[in-house]
Structure 1
Amino acid sequence: MTTATTRQSERRISPVFVGILAVTAVTGWATWTGFAQQPGVAVFLFVTAAWIVSLCLHEYAHARTALHGGDITVGAKGYLTLNPLKYTHVLLSIVLPVVFVIMGGIGLPGGAVFIERGRIRGRWRHSLISAAGPLTNVLFMVVCTAPFWLGLDGMPLEFRFALAFWALLEVSAAILNFLPVPGLDGYGVVEPWLPYSVRRQVEPFAPFGLLFVFALLWVPSVNAVFFDAVQVVLQWLGIGDFDTYCGEYLYNYLFSFFRDVGPNIGCTV
């Protein structure tokens, strides 16, 4: 097995990641029980921590798949420890995704594990490495929406709203990641199957692909189409507009002085 070439210390889960998990658990409990006097505080910390957990596992999925594909260097780089501080660009993988959640409720696809593609043989392996990350977002999407599509009742409202907003982030991240745009995972899935001449022509544009996508999302008509698609998926999973609206309202309540979070139409604060 390829994993035999990595040291045990290179696969040991980082205390940083354990700490993020602990914050997720504690704030999730506080959101469920209403322990916090300001539900917005608990919702913000719970969703942010849960979102960072999913980002870490997104990058871990890339690295773990690359390891089994032949890139044995991912262990030495610290990618298998789930420590977000080990990524090549913490700003792109953690900081900017959280900022974009606060600014616009968009699941920014971070991406900052460096895979040595020359060590990997076979187009299917290259495609699977790229697909592994967004498939992790799909898995999180299924898990955090399970109480809705299973028809489970009895969730406290604040926790229900928080789950709905977290689901919105995972759905938007999955859709964005799977776009076949250079620099995004979706292009990484199809790239191995493209003619060499096409890949050479597209390669210079890869660093700007993500910027191009988010520039488009600032166009009102494009933004509307994108979030309509997100809402279609959420509704198919049993989450209505009211749940996601209230989840975003509670999440952004702390920043009400800096941005318009909309009126409270039944969401508790």
Structure 2
Amino acid sequence: MSFAATRHSDRRISPVFIGIVAVMAVTGWAVWTEFAASAGLAVFLFVTSAWIVSLCLHEYAHARTALHGGDISIGAKGYLTLNPLKYTHALLSIVLPVLFVIMGGIGLPGGAVFIERGRIRGRWKHSLISAAGPLTNVLFALVCTAPFWLDALDGVPLLFRFALAFLALLQVTAAILNFLPVPGLDGYGVIEPWLSHKIRRQVEPFAPFGLLAVFVVLFIPEVNHAFFDAIDAIMRGLGVSRDETWCGQEFYRFWQTDEMCEVAVNR
């Protein structure tokens, strides 16, 4: 019913998103074949475009779930077109997450689709809308790591393996950070409908600062080490070694690629 209430043009995939996917495909081919003169630049463009695609799918999952939950205003806002320029805060959803990948290799969660919660009835629907985004990151991580945990790496070029490992690392960090029950993040959105009105009212003023608080806490050395140790454990469980994610990140930072990683690829 809610799907029918949207116009076909509201659901048409944006040329902007198609362009980003095209960049991902071309640069992915360049990484696979080592066609590019600079392997690191090819990895950088491939991982960055794939990361933006995952961010678009993350926001789309929120929007599509909200549409089926009862918010028929979603279509008119352009969220179903997968166009990142339609988000309420493109800076938070796209620019900052990409900058954090470049600077620290962290999949910073974005979040900028405006959902009219008053149109949605039922606590489970509200929780599912919040969970839909990070669950997309979980699915993306499983797809990226499938060759590793399926032991299907025969024939996969080492450089492409490194790039997939780093891309998977970003998806895992994004999913974990997003699922934290911190005001302003999706994890809090999952539990918020089940909290009393009094608690929600007390917490509401802190929501704009939740992401900043997480970022600050991650700068504490002990927390940072514990966080990335947990990430490494998850990645190993998915069949990806620390060396593979490390070399993926090193090639991504093509301006300072580690020589050992270059030697490994050029063998």
Pairwise same-fold verdict (TM > 0.5) = yes
Once the two structures are TM-superposed, the CA of residue 218 in structure 1 deviates from its matched residue by: 1.1
Once the two structures are TM-superposed, the CA of residue 221 in structure 1 deviates from its matched residue by: 1.0
Task: After the TM superposition, list the runs of 4 or more consecutive aligned residues in structure 1 that deviate by more than 6 angstroms.
Answer: none
Does the residue aligned with 1:60 lie in a helix, a strand or coil? helix
Matched, 1:78 2:74: no
Q: 1:191, 1:262 → 2: CA distance?
A: 44
Query: Cα RMSD (Å) of the superposition?
Result: 1.1
Q: 1:178, 1:106 → 2: CA distance?
A: 15
Q: 2:264, 2:89 → 1: CA distance?
A: 37
Q: 2:15, 2:82 → 1: CA distance?
A: 9
* 1:44-83 pair list within 5 angstroms: 44-83=44-83
Identity rate, percent: 73
- The aligned counterpart of 1:7 is 7
Does the residue aligned with 2:250 lie in a helix, a strand or coil? helix
- The aligned counterpart of 2:195 is 194
Does the residue aligned with 2:214 lie in a helix, a strand or coil? helix
Q: 1:172, 1:267 → 2: CA distance?
A: 26
For the 8 Å contact 1:250–1:267, the answer to whether it is kept is no
Q: 2:264, 2:14 → 1: CA distance?
A: 37
Question: Which blocks of at least 5 consecutive residues in structure 2 are unaligned?
Answer: none
Q: 1:185, 1:229 → 2: CA distance?
A: 20
For the 8 Å contact 2:134–2:179, the answer to whether it is kept is yes
Once the two structures are TM-superposed, the CA of residue 219 in structure 1 deviates from its matched residue by: 1.1
Does the residue aligned with 1:2 lie in a helix, a strand or coil? coil
Q: Tell which deviates more after alignment, 57-66 or 150-159.
A: 150-159
Once the two structures are TM-superposed, the CA of residue 267 in structure 1 deviates from its matched residue by: 4.5
Q: 2:99, 2:264 → 1: CA distance?
A: 23
* 1:119-198 pair list within 5 angstroms: 119-152=119-152, 153-198=154-199
Once the two structures are TM-superposed, the CA of residue 172 in structure 1 deviates from its matched residue by: 0.2
What TM-score, normalized by structure 2, do the two folds share?
0.97
Q: 2:264, 2:55 → 1: CA distance?
A: 28
Distance change >3 Å, CA 186–CA 175, structure 1 → 2: same
Matched, 1:247 2:243: no
Does the residue aligned with 2:253 lie in a helix, a strand or coil? helix
- The aligned counterpart of 2:214 is 213
For the 8 Å contact 1:246–1:267, the answer to whether it is kept is no
Q: 2:143, 2:244 → 1: CA distance?
A: 17
Does the residue aligned with 2:75 lie in a helix, a strand or coil? coil
Once the two structures are TM-superposed, the CA of residue 154 in structure 1 deviates from its matched residue by: 1.7
Query: Once the two structures are superposed, what CA deviation does each residue of 1:97-125 show, in whole Å capped at 9, x if it has no partner?
Result: 00000000000000000000000000000
* 1:6-25 pair list within 5 angstroms: 6-25=6-25
Q: 1:249, 1:57 → 2: CA distance?
A: 26
Amino acid at match of 1:131: A
Q: 1:206, 1:35 → 2: CA distance?
A: 46
How many residue pairs get aligned? The number is 264
- The aligned counterpart of 1:223 is 224
